[in-house]
Amino acid sequence: MRIDTDICVIGAGAGGLSVAAGAVQMGARVVLIEAGEMGGDCLNAGCVPSKALIAAARAAEGQRRGFPGVTGVDPRVDFGAVKDHVAAVIAQIAPVDSQERFEGLGCTVIRAFARFAGPREVQAGDHVIRARRFVIATGSRPNVPPIQGVDTVPFLTNETIFALRERPQHLIVIGGGPIGMELAQAHRRLGCGVTVIEGAGILGREDPELAAVVADALRAEGIAVVAGLPVVRLAGAEGAVEVTLADGTQVKGSHILMAVGRRASLDGMGLEAAGIAHTSKGVTVDARLRTTNRRVYAVGDAAGGPQFTHVAGWHAGIVIRQAVLGLPAKADPCAVPRVTYTDPELAQVGLTEAEARAAHGAGLTVVRADFAHNDRALADGRAVGLIKVMVAGGRPVGASIVGPQAGELIGLWALAIGARLKMSAIAGMIAAYPTLGEVSKHAAGAYFSPKLFDNPAVRQIVRLVQRWIP
């Protein structure tokens, strides 16, 4: 069957679904192709199940820790029931991403693998689709490094671990990035022994000072965290595995979780037939998210940039403005936030301190505020953490937060950086008391404090005002 359409979207994850929904509701003819599960990785094996698991783990840890005046108790964890909760959350969200919903919106949905047959044609099952514009939104999959023994030793990834209904006795997590650290803490709180092994630095992309706060928190909960030693060999069988490190150290456990990053899912798509350049990181795109084939765009993980669901959704809006409305639009990643959902959370937007110093040199000011001086954090008994704000020319160029609800707090700084607000706008904000949000206002105030309180000129002006104004 041959289909002529306006837009053909390949991949029904966050980015592809957003493009398809927006385009068809504005009147474009849309074909949506998906070979796997509707909703993609985020719904079925990423953000949604991991946060549901983290919520259950947080409830268990709350019982374990108690509170001043409230005695902690050892929680009774039904690991299978926790996984039922995870599955139930996925099931609640799934109808929004379902084939039925998108067909109801007017999309033609084809459940097959898509392969380019030429610059303007894609074959998917028994269909050949010719479109004015294509959008590659195929997402990514777990990266599996070529470690000795990886072909024979069983291991889990984010695509398989959420189906595990029996609690691992000892989970060995290979990879100290966001996925590894989040799932390590969640499983420890649910009663598993856990070891994290990272060949470089824990949360290596983040500010080292803030990453250390997270690593220390995990160690305090009983997680063994090993950094700077790559894994060289895997051995063992189901339920009894062994990991050998570069220095000869052997770590034994019951299960291995491979969490060493992700790679774009582009294999077998026939990109060469469509004249679409790509690398191991993803499709090569320009600032407009357009590939080397001017009729084809790429969004989300497939575009080789930051691998976050919110980035895929943002990319979708940029493509819709161009491919559907004919308006100019570009992707500027300077205000894209990222969050590691450990406890404490770690959030970042814009430049880290090291990146800002390299970019702005002596023109950079770094201001800080501690959660230990935030009244709400003290009242909640969660006063560990800090915020750093990197300021150049009176405007924030980066913000780093580690502490309770850092993911919620980073939104203000994403707005400030994206809208090029000055620090005076944040300092002049009225923050409700007592809230964790006051920590951002305090950081902005810290930027102006030296200019006001340690300035001889200001003191002289104040003395004159007090003398002459009645």
Which CATH number does the domain housing residue 113 bear?
3.50.50.60
Going by C-alpha positions, the residue among 253, 251, 194 that lies closest to residue 224 is 194
Residue with tokens 């060493």: 260
Together in a domain, 29 and 109: yes
In a shared domain, residues 31 and 132: yes
**Over 80: is that where the pLDDT of 470 sits?**
no
417: containing domain: 334-453
Phi, psi (degrees; rounded to nearest 5) at 72: -70, 150
Query: Is residue 138 situated within a structural domain?
Result: yes
pLDDT of residue 462: 85
Is 156 contained in some domain?
Answer: no
Check whether residue 345 and residue 430 sit in a common domain: yes
- Facing residues of 5 across strands? 131
Distance set, CA 353 to CA 94, 357, 406, 440 (Å): 39, 6, 17, 17
pLDDT at 403 over 80: yes
pLDDT tens, residue by residue, 178-228: 999 999 999 999 999 999 999 999 999 999 999 999 999 999 999 999 999
Does 210 share its domain with 272?
no
342 and 399 fall within a common domain: yes
Flag whether 369 is in a domain. Answer: yes
Per-residue pLDDT band for 456 (boundaries 50, 70, 90) equals confident
Band of the pLDDT at 295, cuts 50, 70, 90? very high
Residue 6, in any domain of the structure: yes
Residue 11 pLDDT: 98
Query: Number of folded domains in the chain?
Result: 3
Q: For residues 363 and 452, what is the distance between their CA atoms, to the nearest angstrom?
A: 19
Phi/psi at 442 (5° precision):
-65, -40
Angle, CA 378 vertex, CA 374 and CA 384 arms, to 5°: 80
Helix ranges (H only) for 333-405 are 353-360, 375-380
Does residue 421 fall inside a structural domain?
yes
| Per-residue pLDDT tens over the stretch 8-24 | 999 999 999 999 999 99
- Within a domain: 244: yes
Structure tokens at 153: 């030793």
- Write out pLDDT tens, residues 124-156: 999 999 999 999 999 999 999 999 999 999 999
Residue 297 lies in a domain: yes
Token pair recorded at residue 113 = 């693998």
Condensed to tens digits (0 to 9), the pLDDT of residues 36-89 reads 999 999 999 999 999 999 999 999 999 999 999 999 999 999 999 999 999 999
* Residues 322 and 225 placed together within one structural domain of the fold: no
Dump pLDDT digits (tens) for 154-171.
Answer: 999 999 999 999 999 999
**Is 292 a member of any domain?**
yes
Helix ranges restricted to H, 112-160 = none
CATH of the domain at 416: 3.30.390.30
Same domain, 310 and 279: yes
Residue 230 scores a pLDDT above 90 = yes
Asked which of 331, 357, 380 is the last residue of a domain, the reply is 331
- Whether the pLDDT of residue 277 is over 80: the answer is yes
Are 270 and 253 members of one domain? no
Q: Is the pLDDT of residue 457 over 90?
A: no
Q: Which of 156, 154, 155, 159 is nearest to 141 (CA)?
A: 159
312 sits in which H/E element: helix 309-323
109 with 238, same domain: the answer is: no
Boundary residue ending a domain (331, 360, 377): 331
End of a domain among 233, 260, 287?
260
Q: Which pLDDT score, from 0 to 100, does residue 449 have? A: 87
Same domain as 281, residue 375: no
- Pairwise CA distance, residues 50 & 71, whole Å: 29
**Together in a domain, 20 and 105:** yes
Give pairs for 19-24: CB < 8 Å, separation 24+.
Answer: 19/135, 19/137, 19/299, 19/316, 19/319, 19/320, 19/323, 20/102, 20/105, 20/107, 21/102, 21/105, 22/316, 22/317, 22/320, 22/324, 23/320, 23/323, 23/324, 24/102, 24/105, 24/106, 24/107
Residue 254's contacts (CB-CB under 8 Å, 6 or more residues apart) are 168, 169, 170, 171, 239, 240, 241
pLDDT at 302 over 80: yes
Q: Which residues contact 299 (CB under 8 A, 6 or more apart)?
A: 15, 16, 19, 135, 136, 137, 289, 312, 315, 316, 318, 319
Same domain, 439 and 344: yes
